[in-house]
Every structure is written in C-alpha cells, then in structure tokens.
Structure 1
Amino acid sequence: MPKARRALVRLLLAGGAAAVLLYTEGQWESRSGGLMLVADLLNRPELLLGAALAALIAAAWLGDRRTAVRTATRAVTVTAGVVFLLGVLAAHKVSAAETRSRETAPARPELALVVVHRSYATAPKDNDDWQVLLEVGAGWSGRRWSLAQIGRAPDDARLVEASWTGRDQITVVTDSYRRVFNLDQDTGEPVEAR
C-alpha cells in the first residue's frame, strides 16, 4: 500500500475514533448535573456516530489489499452502515413534537426551571411525557439537573405543575405525588426535601 494511502487510512481511523470519543463525552455530560453546553454540542448520535461509521467504512475500502479480507470487511461495514441508516430513519419517524417552557428563579437570573413536553404522533395522547429540569449558570460552566421524568407509560403520573415556590425551592406536582426540591446556596444543586 502506498505511503499516502496508508496515512489516509490512519487519519480516517483516528477521525472515527475521535468522533466516538466526542459522542461518549456528550452522553456522559447529558447525565443529571452534567455540563449542558457540552451535552448539547456533543450528544448527537446521528452526526458523530454517523461520521465515525463513514470514516471506518472509507478506511476499510481503502485499506487491506487482500481480496478475502477486503470483501469481508466491506460486507460488514456496508451492513453496519445500512443498519445505522435504518435506525436513524426509524428514530426520526417516532420522534416527538417537543415544547419547552422556561421560568427563571425569583431574584436569581442564573437559575431556570425548564419543562420539556414531548407528544408522540404515533402514540395515544396518554403516552405524552414531561421532563422537569433545572439549569444553573450559562456557558461552559452551566449545568443541567434532572428533577423529574414523568409519563413514560400509559399508567404513569401526569404533570400538573412545576414551579418556583420560593427563592431556592422548586415544587413538582403530578396527579399522584408532590416533590419539593431545595437548592444548594453555593452550587444550585437540587436536593429533594424529605
């Protein structure tokens, strides 16, 4: 294999590995308390995993010159590409219409209560779900905390209200429970009141 071609294959493999690592970091920061800007930028499976797969497919096609290995590699990578594409198309088909409401804390503009409502066109109305989030700060240091995930199954609770009930307190009310969260004065981290 010519030197330039070998360098291109190595570059494609490194690029594919980097895309997977970036996506992994985005997934990690999507957890409760993670850095919201990093999560928003890097938790993109279609873009980053698609780019990684494309780089690996290109590296496989340009790589090994032996016929049997090349044929097997191409078959596996093309199959993986088709499966990934079908998964992306299926995910978009069942994607939800999403609305967000945002309310800043009384006298604390760095804190925001966010309620995300997802309505699925392919599911009955009872399958809507809500996610209640607290966003603390902005930019690279801003964090996002998950307070409640409501309504994943037909027999789950339904959100009635999520609101600021004090300068450092959030109350989430559903048709079956009420949860109160107090915020840490320094970090803004929510702690459920017992």
Structure 2
Amino acid sequence: MPRTRRALVRLLAVAGVAAVLLYTEGQWESRSGGRMLVADLFNRPEPLLGAALAALIAAAWLGDRRTAVRQATRAVTVTAAVVFLLGVLAAHKVSAAETRSRETAPARPERALVVVHRAYDAGPEPGERWQVLLESGEGWSARRWTLADIGPGDPDDSLLVEASWTERDRITVVTDAHRRVFVIDQDTGEPIEAR
C-alpha cells in the first residue's frame, strides 16, 4: 500500500475514534451536574457518530485489499450504516415540540432556572414532559443540574404546576402530586433538596 494511502487510512481511523470519544465526553457531561457547554457541543449522536462511522468505513475500505477482509468489511459496514440510519429515522419519528423558559436568580445573574416542556404526539409514551433544570456558572465551568423530570412514566405520573425561585437561593417545584424545595449551595451552585 502506498505511503500516502496508509497515512490517509490512519487519519480516517484517528478521526473516527476521536469523534466517538468526543461524543462519549458529551454524553458523560449531560448527566446532572455536568458541564453544560461540553454537553451542548458534543452530545450530538447523529453528526458525531455518523462522522465516526463514515470515517471508519472509509478507513476499512481503503485499508486492506485482500478479498476475504474486503468482503467482511463491506458486510459489517453496510450493516452498521443501515442500523445507524434506522436509528436516526426512529429518533426523528418520536421527536417532540419543545419550548423553554428561563428565569435568572434574584441578584445572581450566573444562575438560571430553566423549564423545558416537550409535547410528544407519538412514540411509546405520548403526552407532555417537563424537565426542570438549574444552570449555574459561566463559560466552560458552567454546570447544569436536573431538579425534576416530570411526565408519563415517572412514579407519580404527575403534571408540572409551577417551578420558580422562591428566594435568592431557593427553588420550589410544584406538581399536582408533590412539592419539592431545593436550596442552592452558595459556593458550588449545586442544588440540594430540602427535607
């Protein structure tokens, strides 16, 4: 195999692995308390995993000229591409109409209460879902915490009534089934549920 072709195969393989690693980091930071900028940039399965799949397929097709390896590579890559495309189509089929509201904390502009409302018309659980989030900090160090995930499938099968700042460092989330109060740690910005 010529040197330039070998270099291209290595570059494609590295790019594919890098895209998977970036997506993995974005997925990890999407957890409650994760860095929100990293999550927003890299928790994108369709473009990152699609690019990884394309780069790895191209590297495999260009990499080895032997017939048996080439046939196996073609079978695996075609199967992976079909499964990926079916996953993308399924994800778009159950997509939801989404609205967001944002309220900054009294006297603390670096903290915001965010309520995400999603209305699903189809899928396994049609209906409405609310996600109540606290965003705290600025830039790369900003973090996002999940305070409540409300809707079909949750233990109470409840509906959101209100989520608001009740004091400078206190958030109250009210559903038709319960009331929860979160106190915000002054140093870390982390919400702690009051008992």
| 2:78 is equivalent to residue 73 of structure 1 | no
Q: Which residue of 2 aligns with 1:110?
A: 110
Q: Runs of 4 or more off by more than 2 Å in structure 1?
A: 123-127, 152-155
SS at match of 1:37: helix
**2: CA distance, partners of 1:125 / 1:18:** 35
For 1:68, the aligned partner's letter is A
TM-score by length of 1: 0.96
SS at match of 1:128: strand
1:153 CA displacement: 2.4
For 2:74, the aligned partner's letter is R
State whether residues 121 and 127 of structure 2, in contact with CA within 8 Å, keep that contact through their aligned partners in structure 1.
Answer: no
Q: Deviations over 1:34-73 (max 9, x none)?
A: 1111100000000100000000110111011110110111
**Alignment: residue pair count:** 194
TM-score by length of 2: 0.95
Q: Which residue of 2 aligns with 1:193?
A: 194
| 2:18 is equivalent to residue 10 of structure 1 | no
| Distance change >3 Å, CA 53–CA 185, structure 1 → 2 | same
Worse-superposed segment, 2-11 or 48-57: 2-11
1:36-55 alignment, distance < 5 Å:
36-55=36-55
Structure 1: runs of 5+ lacking an equivalent: none
State whether residues 160 and 176 of structure 2, in contact with CA within 8 Å, keep that contact through their aligned partners in structure 1.
Answer: yes
**2: CA distance, partners of 1:153 / 1:17:** 35
**Percent identical across equivalent pairs?**
80
**2: CA distance, partners of 1:41 / 1:64:** 34
1:108-187 alignment, distance < 5 Å:
108-122=108-122, 127-153=127-153, 156-187=157-188
For 1:174, the aligned partner's letter is T
For 1:168, the aligned partner's letter is D
